[in-house]
Amino acid sequence: MRLFFLILVATVAILGVAPAPAFAERVRDLGAFQGVRTNQLTGYGIVVGLQGTGDDSLEYLTQAMRGVSGRLGVQLPAGVSPGLKNAAAVLITADLPAFAKPGQHITVTVSAIGKAKSLRGGALVLSPLYGADGQIYAMAQGNLAVGGLGISAKDGSQLTVNVPTVGRIDDGASVERSVATGFDSASALRWNLFTADFLTAARVRDAINRRYPDCAKVEDGVTLALQLPASTDDRATMMAGIEMIDVVPAEAAAKVIVNSRTGTVVINSAVRLSPAAISHGKLVVRIDEKPQVSQPNPLSGGQTTVTPSSKISLDEGGSHVALFKPGASLSSLVDALNKLGVSPSDLVAILEALKEAGALKAEMVVI
């Protein structure tokens, strides 16, 4: 009995630590809860303290500096346009994380929008950051960290390393307003797939309902409605459990992605071929021009003449034929095309011909 008990305990332990199948993915990697996302913030500001690399006397910069001076109690005389080589107008961008609360800090990116040559060594003056609804959600201020460097000499020569007109301020903005997500008030929380697929949505629904009966319901190929407890603590615990459930997603639709500019071709594993034969040959025509120069004798009064001489050569590479059996997979296609020695442009032509012949069972996407 003791031996049986030890074997049983060992078996349970092995099953408990057995890894999930390699092809299974967590729910959190397949989609996200609706409303639980980042929000983009933008703002306009002034960077000061530059070493003569600012915007100089641009009108919009002068107006902004008048506003900043006015808030500080300094009134510039009318008609005076200050030289502002040490200041630059900038655009500020930031991402407001989900559930960010007032008092927390976020990182901001500062980019010059005028003629400033560099923001290196500058400091951002207190600036508001707005959301899509026009409300202020954060206030940004601080010293910039610029990874680029720009140097210019009096003779016009310049040296630029990276991008000196863009900088970052780590934790440079203080959150002033939180964004409502509906997490604590909505009766049903929706979960959205990153990529629409009815089979994957159904599998996620079934996996969730096995752990939490009658919790999930498919609304469409992207969205699942989840019935969650009223208590925020129980709701958070349930959401955490749902995110860690393993699901086997549906196989991706067969696609061939072609980048017409770079010649890049990407073929996913779902691509299949019907019976087909491909013949690929190369024809190279070479024309060599070797003009002949006829030089007259000295003092003969003749003229130098050039007689054209052309040599045309034809080189036809060996032509090979690749035969695909029914249901040929991606590896068979790649191996055959490699043996034919096709270039990226030739590969695109072959794939298009296979599609026209009805032998390529995939969607062609040209970007």
pLDDT tens track for 236-265: 888 889 989 999 888 888 888 877 677 677
Residue 103 has pLDDT above 50, yes or no: yes
Answer whether 265's CB lies under 8 Å from 347's CB: yes
CA distance 115 to 117: 6
Return all residues near 148 (Cβ < 8 A) that are at least 6 apart: 118, 120, 160, 161, 162, 163, 164, 165, 166
Q: Residue 108 in 3-state DSSP?
A: strand
pLDDT for 77 equals: 61
* Torsion sign, CA atoms 252, 255, 261, 264: positive
In this prediction, residue 92 has a pLDDT band, given cuts at 50, 70 and 90, of very high
Helix (H, G, I), strand (E, B) or coil at 209: helix
DSSP assignments along 295-345, one per residue:
-PPTTS----EEE--EEEEEEEPPPEEEEE-TTB-HHHHHHHHHHHT--HH
Provide the CB-side half-sphere exposure for 138 (13 A, CA).
Answer: 31
pLDDT of residue 104: 93
Does residue 130 contact residue 91 with C-beta atoms inside 8 Å?
Answer: no
Would you say 83 and 111 are in contact if contact means Cβ atoms under 8 Å apart? no
Query: Tokens in use for 126?
Result: 């207190």
pLDDT class of 67 with cuts at 50, 70, 90: low
pLDDT at position 73 = 57
The terminus-to-terminus CA distance of the chain in angstroms comes to 68
* Pairwise CA distance, residues 76 & 64, whole Å: 12
Strand partners, 285: 314
- Mean pLDDT score, 53-78: 62
| Residues 143-150, mean pLDDT to the nearest whole number | 78
Q: What percent of the chain has pLDDT over 70?
A: 65
User: Residue 290 contacts by C-beta under 8 Å, 6 or more apart in sequence?
Assistant: 309, 310, 311
Listed residue (173, 124, 176) closest to 145, CA to CA: 124
Mean pLDDT of 2-28: 49
The answer to whether 247 and 30 have CB atoms below 8 angstroms apart is: yes
Backbone angles phi, psi at 144, to 5 degrees: -85, 145
Q: How far apart are CA 248 and CA 76, in angstroms?
A: 67
Instruction: Name the residue with higher pLDDT: 162 or 201.
Output: 201
d(CA 8, CA 130): 61
Interval 162-185 mean pLDDT: 85
